[in-house]
Structure 1
């Protein structure tokens, strides 16, 4: 048995000392690979703002990236420059500028020129936790942002001065959003049980004085229940509509409420009104609630006349859609939801509904390339779903829902079977055996009562290895004609769960890494441990996903421990072969394979993922790399030779 015991950071690399060098090791120079990565597409949505940029494109954010996507072709362009999760997006009135804000130890706001896709102004805000909301003034001369720090600090940046010397103000009550009203000196802030109207002005008695922010509290009148405000829409200079978390519309004249409307709901718990947008004229606006698009028409005398509500569209969905943001372009409505989906509908055509983007709604913990010619791949998520994606079509092909969170997923290699098979491990210990060719579940096996850690098919697709939390590996024989699974052997002896596993090219042997940093080898048919590393030192491994081993020891930098790198994948059809890793610093890294040279050089791709990169896989033809992780985003990278 070859054991690399868990130790402090300075001792982590001691596992290298127990490795056995192959008889004729593949040469490694430790230099940068002669390939690089470029983002080809990203699946994901930060569940923040989504807008029409024009009639052909929409704009939204995912991870650390702003995304401009073609409605027709699904091709994308990117706003790159953030270092953490993008939490707010705003457009100016002419839609020539965008502003994005992020979270992090050092908060950034970037103003983008949407014609050139370049940063026009980068504002280093400082240590304010993050940006909750951004808004351009009507004339685009100013940008306002409110932070998530304890003081709810508000900044008003003069863009003519590149954001330098901003006007600031702080508040003692919760603020979730800020919005410029009808001119550059009037704003509204709102959040939990508060609405405030702000006016920016100088002292009339002292023309040389600095501008000050003056606040007037919105007066709720006789409302029996203080609302949590979710959205705002300026009707004109005097009237403003607010949407609440409990499905109400509040109409204000100045700082005073003049109307309270309850949005119709078939349930006892109305949907929150997270977005409002004008439609057809300046006194009509749209609300989306309980899958219904409702048109509200204000009377000529807004304060007095009745408000008419008409249902104009029914969104088809098996579950209630809760919109976070939507925008209108003519009769077309684009809608971002709490389930990380983006819809588009033509309000004049009930059959026009389509997805512009689909995504997981929680951490994407596992991805694996399918053995198909069109570079499809599969992902599993803690949102209890498995999804199959097409690289070429840039869309989701299939979604499977389960009763428990998905912890791991893999696919057969289609070499020993005409079918494409999936193996899916769940948090509750269930193993799902699924035939993608027929779209039918073959078998469920209750392997354990706690999470399955890893699943992997052998190269010949004859075996399926399932890694349990207790450290055991169950090797199943795939029955002829894929009629089910039968337990072949059990590997016992690991002191911790198996985190990584690879089959030998002949499907007879396993190499594994455990959570205790053990490097172990096993005979598949018997389940016996192979205790001599020299016996397997020259074996050819069909895949290489293990983080510890002779040919990958160079991926580790000085000071790193075993928790710093989360995943690894080796390409199969590049010259030389490549290694990709995903790490806890939100980076995707590209190395030459082998990376047996100490501290091998790498190309680092940061500013894309906004959380830990948990899984990565090269496509079957090695022309693409897929990465996914804690930010719910799935990045498809094109592998390009320099």
Structure 2
């Protein structure tokens, strides 16, 4: 039911927002935990492979590879050791440097005794320090500028020189390796305890922002990954990015931000699904409406848009000043990119210059601004606002002075509309769930009188308000009824004058279903819009129905009606269409968009076209020059990602269930259907020549397909396994040999496709690979 849906939207959204925030926090904790476990297990696997290869090759006495394996095994064993303080860590670094210089000279080393015991102790201390550096990075950004790290051959060499020392170290490494399986099992058991989860959650809170910090890699990484690198932390996760060989000095390539700025050109869509009375025609010939945080001024004759961009979160309501130039818009509460709260407020702005004239209510409104209206009797000097708090506070503002004049609680029920009386400057009317209130405003006080329905059936919702020329009030309700409220004078009470009370004088059955909107026209006639019956009815001056027209079902139910040019009128619908119509000629679509969250976007390789797919299961092909819809198709499931074949002949679309569709880009016909896993597909990417397709999934895998017949035939080639979280982005190399991928826990992994989709463990080997695109958001090429 439209009425129930409209009334419960605010409460449901509040609950959903709280639940989403809680779920997001829990997901962050789980992501950090999974990332930590995956990193440790990966390191253990690398150690196993390396030590096994060392044992097979059986190197000679004193060979560096043996010492490297010993060092790696010791680190694996030492990584579970207790953490040291920062003071002891700095001491261990100093000791290690002293020992390294002694090893080079070879003289002081002979004086140390007993050599085996001392060196083992220092190695353990150094390894603990290295493990501490990775496990608990500094939560605060470094005060110094970001520095790069160069790995030198000295880091590969180990200090022992005597055979006794070697045998002792080998024995220690062997015992450490034998217990690696036990260590791994212990680690998995510990990871499942609430103690570790609370630690990870606490660490995640410390690293909510992107932190760039100077930190050292473990000795093992220095041994296996050569070259310079930079490291940053995101939500406690270390991200290492290797610098390409052709970059001799990282500081030399650092530049200032470019002077160019992006300018919003066009907005596709309109918010009508959960809003009302938010479409108006301005004297400039522009239709004003909003979507997300943007207020759009659209000239449908010249096909141009202008945008008011002052808001910081979603706009929820709109009112036009009596001068038809100034506009007030109210927004919801939100959070910025750094997680700081954004307060709900009202912005009053000039529709000609797009300049902000006033910002009202910062710190006053709760949750959001539900509805607002300018005064009429005093030429728009005042503004009344209802917020989305539990009490739905009514405030009256002298908006030019930015002063709040009066404030009062209205009701705990949903409030759907507020309006100043057009001739009585001291009367404000609010309506909503099972009520209509007539407020008398005097100075800084507001007094309320409730509308009495008497012999008339009390509606579940009073949906909308309008006024007749004689000052009578019209209400439209959820029962399809229009009520006329006239002001009558009651007898004076002792010591007070006569009072005026609004009472119902007439009832009209207007629509099947709810009356969703009322629009008073310039000539005194009335337009009404119905919800269930989707009818727009024109009423004469005596409120007799004169003409009617039905909005086609594909556009949805009516949410807003406004007078247009001449005999035209504008209609906003629940499926996010803005229509322009007449009773004689029907409707023309002026604005359209998706009706649910939009997730998938792909641009045509050489035409001015782009494709979108969303939770509403619609796939839309848009013309970016004419800003028009080329075609649309309804899928069986919500779409989440898309990519065009390089030929432009077909487009692949991934859904939330693991199925993906291939459509003909011209005819929108279905070409092929495939399924990979049973979780959401998050990214699809064709190789540069179109012979391969990579499909990234929320099951942590990347599926590879061989593509033939110009994108019309697909056969499974392989699967990339190694990510510990869902795939978010991926890019191909120009030769189709390599893939770079990002995941939800901030991993950067590289894959060798011709070798069977194998994970490239030594990431420094990939630092000089060229990439066809840079859609991955993590990596040296996109690091800023």
TM-score normalised by length of structure 2: 0.63
Q: 1:165 and 1:18 mapped to 2: Cα distance?
A: 53
Q: Report the counterpart of residue 353 of structure 2 in structure 1.
A: 116
Give, in angstroms, the shift of residue 520 of structure 1: 1.4
Matched residue SS, 2:418: strand
Structure 2 distance, partners of 1:285, 1:494, is 59
How many angstroms apart in 2 are the aligned matches of 1:529 and 1:407? 26
Aligned CA distance change for structure 1 residues 323 and 151 (closer, same or farther; 3 Å): closer
Q: For 1:478 and 1:343, locate their aligned partners in 2 and report how far apart those are by CA, in whole Å.
A: 42
The equivalences for 1:60-79 within 5 A come to 60-79=289-308
Q: Which residue of 1 aligns with 2:390?
A: 150
Which residue of 1 is the match for residue 46 of structure 2? Answer: none
Q: Matched residues in 1 for 2:308 and 2:239: separation?
A: 44
Is 2:517 aligned against 1:275?
A: yes
> In structure 1, how many angstroms separate the alpha carbons of the residues matched to 2:529 and 2:523?
15
Change (3 A) 1:483 1:367: closer
Q: 1:259 to 1:173 in 2, by over 3 A?
A: farther
Q: Is the 8 A contact 2:525 2:540 kept in 1?
A: yes
Structure 2 CA distance for aligned equivalents of residues 165 and 472 of structure 1? 57
Deviation per CA, 1:586-607: give whole Å up to 9, x if none.
Answer: xxxxxxxxxxxxxxxxxxxxxx
Corresponding residue to 2:551 among 312, 315, 325: 315
**Which residue is equivalent to 1:537?**
767
Match of 1:296 among 539, 542, 560: 539
Contact 1:275 1:326 in 2 (8 A): no
From 559, 577, 583, the counterpart of 1:347: 583
Distance 2:292 2:571 in 1: 19
Change (3 A) 1:217 1:308: same
2:639 and 2:517 map into 1 onto residues whose CA distance is: 32
Aligned mate of 1:167, from 393, 406, 411: 406
Equivalent residue number for residue 560 of structure 1: none
Report the alpha carbon displacement of residue 449 of structure 1 after superposing the two structures with TM: 2.5
8 Å CA contact 1:324, 1:338 repeated in 2: no
Pair 1:548 & 2:778 matched: yes
1:221 alignment partner, one of 454, 475, 479? 454
Q: Is 2:528 aligned against 1:528?
A: no
Deviations 1:258-312 (A, max 9, x none): 33333343xxxx2x3221112474254333453322123353xxxxxxx533443
Cα distance in 2 between the residues matched to 1:61 and 1:17: 39
- The equivalent residue for 1:378 is 611
SS in 2 for 1:155: strand
Is 2:527 the counterpart of 1:285? yes
- Kindly tell me: are residues 215 and 236 of structure 1, through their superposed partners in 2, closer, same or farther at Cα, counting changes over 3 Å? farther
Deviation at 1:366, TM superposition (A): 2.6
Question: Residue 126 of structure 1 corresponds to which residue in structure 2?
Answer: 363
Structure 2 vs 1, CA of residues 443 and 219 (structure 1 numbering), >3 Å: closer, same or farther? same
**Distance of 2:594 and 2:611 partners within structure 1:** 12
Indicate the residue corresponding to 1:40 in structure 2. Answer: 265
**How does 1:458-607 map onto structure 2 within 5 Å?**
458-525=687-754, 526-554=756-784
Give the one of 641, 649, 658 matched to 1:408: 641
For residues 39 and 233 of structure 1, the distance between their equivalents in structure 2, rounded to whole angstroms, comes to: 36
Q: Does the aligned pair in 1 maintain the 2:461–2:477 contact within 8 Å?
A: yes
Match of 1:562 in 2: none
- Distance, in Å, in 2 between the alignment partners of 1:170 and 1:536 is 63
Cα distance in 2 between the residues matched to 1:474 and 1:17: 24
1:181 aligns with 2:416: no
Aligned partner of 1:631 in structure 2 is none
RMSD: 2.6
Can you list the C-alpha shifts for 1:562-619, whole angstroms capped at 9, x where unaligned?
Answer: xxxxxxxxxxxxxxxxxxxxxxxxxxxxxxxxxxxxxxxxxxxxxxxxxxxxxxxxxx
Residues 1:135 and 2:385 aligned together: no
Q: Corresponding residue for 2:595?
A: 361
Decide whether aligned partners of structure 1 residues 275 and 527 sit closer, same or farther in structure 2, where only a CA change above 3 A counts.
same
**Other-structure match for 1:337:** 573
- C-alpha spacing 1:247/1:487, structure 2 compared with 1 (3 Å): farther
Larger Cα Rg: Structure 1 or Structure 2?
2
Match of residue 53 from structure 1: 282
| Cα drift, residue 169 of structure 1 | 1.9
Closer/same/farther in 2, CA of residues 221 and 66 from structure 1, 3 Å limit:
same
Query: Which secondary structure state, in structure 2, belongs to the residue aligned with residue 496 of structure 1?
Result: coil
Query: Quick one: which of 100, 103, 124 aligns to 2:332?
Result: 103
Per the normalisation by structure 1, the TM-score is: 0.76
Q: In the TM superposition, what is the alpha-carbon distance from 1:534 to its structure 2 partner? A: 3.2
Report the Cα offset of residue 349 of structure 1: 1.8
SS of the residue corresponding to residue 274 of structure 1 reads strand
2:431 to 190, 196, 212: 190
Unaligned runs of 5+ in 2: 1-38, 44-133, 136-199, 212-231, 334-341, 488-501
My pick for the range that moved more, 99-108 or 12-21, is 12-21
The match for 1:20 is 242
The change in CA–CA distance for 1:17 and 1:529 in structure 2 (over 3 A counts) is closer
Count matched residues. Answer: 526
SS state of the match for residue 41, structure 1? coil
Are residue 249 (structure 1) and residue 482 (structure 2) matched?
yes
1:42-101 CA-partner distances (Å, limit 9, x unpaired): 123232401011372111112222211101122111223222221111112331221111
Give a deviation string over 1:416-469, Cα, whole Å, max 9, x none.
xxx432111111221011110332110111333321222111111111111222
When structure 1 is superposed on structure 2, of 16-25 and 183-192 the one drifting more is 16-25
Shift of 1:355: 1.6
Find out whether 1:234 has 2:467 as its counterpart.
Answer: yes
Of 97-106 and 456-465, deviating more is 97-106
CA 1:331–1:242: 2 relative to 1, 3 Å: same
- Larger helix fraction of residues: 2
- Cα deviations across residues 531-574 of structure 1 (Å, max 9, x unaligned)? 232332211111112122122333xxxxxxxxxxxxxxxxxxxx
- Whether contact under 8 Å (2:528, 2:561) holds in the other structure is no
Separation in 2, partners of 1:343, 1:504: 46
Name the counterpart of 1:259. Answer: 506
In 1, are the aligned partners of 2:270 and 2:290 still within 8 Å (CA)? Answer: yes
Q: State how far apart, in whole Å, the 2-side matches of 1:37 and 1:178 are.
A: 38
> Which runs of no fewer than 5 residues in structure 1 stay unpaired?
202-209, 300-306, 555-642
TM-superposed CA distance for 1:494, in Å, is: 2.0
3-state SS of the aligned residue for 1:35? coil
Structure with bigger RCO (C-alpha 8 Å, 6+ apart): 1
Shift of 1:211: 4.5
Task: Judge conservation of contact 2:390–2:412 (CA < 8 Å) in 1.
Answer: no
Q: Could you give the per-residue CA deviations for residues 382-411 of structure 1, whole angstroms, max 9, x where no partner exists?
A: 222222222211222222222322121222
Matches of 2:369 and 2:743, distance apart in 1: 40
